Amino acid sequence: MSLLFRSKGTVPPMLFKNIAIIDEDFSYRPDQFVAVKDGRITYIGDTAPADAATEPAYADTFDGTGKLLMPALYNAHAHAPMTLLRGFAENLPLQRWLNEKCWPFEAKMTPEDNYWATLLACAEMARYGVVSFSDMYYATPERARAVTEAGLKANLCEGLIAFEPKPYAEYPICAQNEEYVRTLHGSANGRILIDYNIHAEYTSNEQVCRDIAAIVKEKGLRLHLHLSETEKEVAECRERHDGMSPVQYFDAIGVFEGPVTAAHCVWLDEADLAIMERRDIFVANCPVSNMKLGSGFAPIPEMLRRGMNVCLGGDGMASNNNHNLFSDLYVMALIYKGSTLDPTAVTPEQALRAATRNGALSQGREDCGLLKEGFKADLCVLDVSGPEWCPMIQPLYNAVYAGDGSNVVLTLCDGEVVYRADSSAEADATWPGIDLEKVKAEASARTQRIIGEL
């Protein structure tokens, strides 16, 4: 069976009228017109586009009264099928959480489990304005099928645990990844991209890491890994590798010579930050997961001061519990003010940029993540007519501190509607690519089956 998936065809043009926007400079502009054609933003202005008078020009015209149009969100670090573990692994530190709960559960998951779990994650992300995610897990063909059917985008990597001291070529995943790159990379009109993966320093051997780094560099692909998530991880790495931290170790063996998205990055010292700055590492900050697992706080204010590539990640549902990335955005914008005793530590614009443009860049999607003419139409619309949005003194601040993902009423991915709600009632919501009730029933049944097998 081919691993290629057919796209949904031509996307009808859409015109937003009289709508407030957050533009490419992250500035607020009221009463705008925004046109979308062939999956891209073709016009932004305070008057209607010239072709708006032509009857068939825009099959869908959206009245933006009381609405805000902004770039959709990009989740820079996820484990989408872990929706099945929501609420299963609670109140445990990372290593016990992995060894006692997550890994035994995941060992029972079938490829079809991964498919249904990913569909559920896609439904939740689309509902909260997320159009793309970087996903580290298993059953890549099934995850790709789910993402394609849902109409979203994803950078998918097959999770690698490499405890055995042998070269990467001797692991079955080596041939699998070659097949995935050949058949899936760039499928669904470029919405599916394949990355390579090193789970973490403590779950990999040096030869495998060197081999993967060489492949990524040769093929011009991207790499996704966990990095310096806990104090214990860093201390044990220093014991194994002559005093080197995970950052120093990966840098020494060539892992950072290609584009890398590193998740968590909590326990870093000055030498680590200097390396990551020099190597242009994309940092997938996961503030909610880091707090829930008691891992700590990544030094995001210092990274921002250095001009580093800070993105926003939600992580898996066993360590976050929801895919409402607006909640993570809110947390990211607040916790560093409290932890550093500096109310200017992270600005709303910096947090929004991390959740949009920087997330897109971490996936190698150069023409995404901004509300800008010529860019892909990855957009979400928020209902800003509620009391929590009034008054609109600083609309950008309202978007971060007052609003929430529950305000999302429309999500577009490459100009295609992937979630729409004509009112605030969940019963009125639609996911064109997803039968939500079937997905929920399948996910619940599969979780119960797995728990019964443990």
Kindly state whether residues 171 and 302 are assigned to the same domain: yes
Task: Tally the domains of the chain.
Answer: 2
Classify residue 450: in a domain, yes or no: no
Ramachandran angles phi, psi of 4, nearest 5°: -80, 145
Kindly state whether residues 426 and 315 are assigned to the same domain: no
* Beta carbons within 8 Å of 267's beta carbon, 6+ residues apart: 228, 229, 230, 231, 233, 234, 245, 296
Reply yes or no on whether the pLDDT at 7 is more than 80: no
Kindly state whether residues 310 and 413 are assigned to the same domain: no
Reply yes or no on whether the pLDDT at 56 is more than 90: no
Taking alpha carbons only, the member of 136, 199, 141, 158 closest to residue 4 is 141
337-346, 360-369, 426-435, 437-446: least confident range:
426-435
Mean pLDDT of 73-95: 93
Kindly state whether residues 209 and 333 are assigned to the same domain: yes
- Confirm if 411 and 127 have CB atoms less than 8 A apart: yes
Classify residue 218: in a domain, yes or no: yes
**Whole-number Å distance between alpha carbons of 369 and 262:** 19
Kindly state whether residues 323 and 417 are assigned to the same domain: no
Classify residue 123: in a domain, yes or no: yes
Q: How long a stretch of residues is the chain?
A: 454
Under DSSP, the state recorded for 386 is: S
Kindly state whether residues 332 and 382 are assigned to the same domain: no
0.85 exceeded by the pTM?
Answer: yes
Read off the pLDDT of residues 255-306 as tens digits, 9 standing for 90 and up: 999 999 999 999 999 999 999 999 999 999 999 999 999 999 999 999 999 9
Classify residue 448: in a domain, yes or no: no
Taking alpha carbons only, the member of 199, 191, 207, 156 closest to residue 177 is 156
Indicate the residue among 313, 328, 362 that finishes a domain.
362
**Whole-number Å distance between alpha carbons of 311 and 166:** 34
User: Cis bond leading into 391, ω under 30°?
Assistant: yes
Position 53 scores a pLDDT of: 83
Kindly state whether residues 26 and 117 are assigned to the same domain: no
Kindly state whether residues 83 and 198 are assigned to the same domain: yes
**Whole-number Å distance between alpha carbons of 348 and 81:** 30
Where residue 6 falls among pLDDT bands split at 50, 70, 90?
A: very low
Classify residue 9: in a domain, yes or no: no
Tokens for 362, please give them. 């971490």
Q: What is the CATH number of the domain that holds 60?
A: 2.30.40.10
Classify residue 8: in a domain, yes or no: no
Domain interval for residue 142: 73-362
Kindly state whether residues 395 and 296 are assigned to the same domain: no
Position 426 scores a pLDDT of: 63
92-106, 143-157, 392-406: least confident range:
92-106
Residue 400 corresponds to which amino acid? V
Tokens for 172, please give them. 């079955």
At 112, is the secondary structure helix, strand, or coil?
Answer: helix
Taking alpha carbons only, the member of 53, 15, 46, 42 closest to residue 32 is 46
Mean pLDDT of 230-236: 96
- Confirm if 218 and 257 have CB atoms less than 8 A apart: no
Percent of the chain with pLDDT over 70: 97
- In DSSP terms, which residues pair with 198 in a beta bridge? 225
Other residues' Cβ atoms within 10 Å of the Cβ of residue 120: 27
**Whole-number Å distance between alpha carbons of 213 and 208:** 9
Read off the pLDDT of residues 349-401 as tens digits, 9 standing for 90 and up: 999 999 999 999 999 999 999 999 999 999 999 999 999 999 999 999 999 99
Kindly state whether residues 88 and 116 are assigned to the same domain: yes
Mean pLDDT of 227-236: 97
Average pLDDT over the chain, rounded to an integer? 94
Tokens for 445, please give them. 């049944």
Classify residue 5: in a domain, yes or no: no
Could you tell me if residue 226 is left (phi over 0), alpha (psi between -120 and 50 degrees) or otherwise beta?
beta
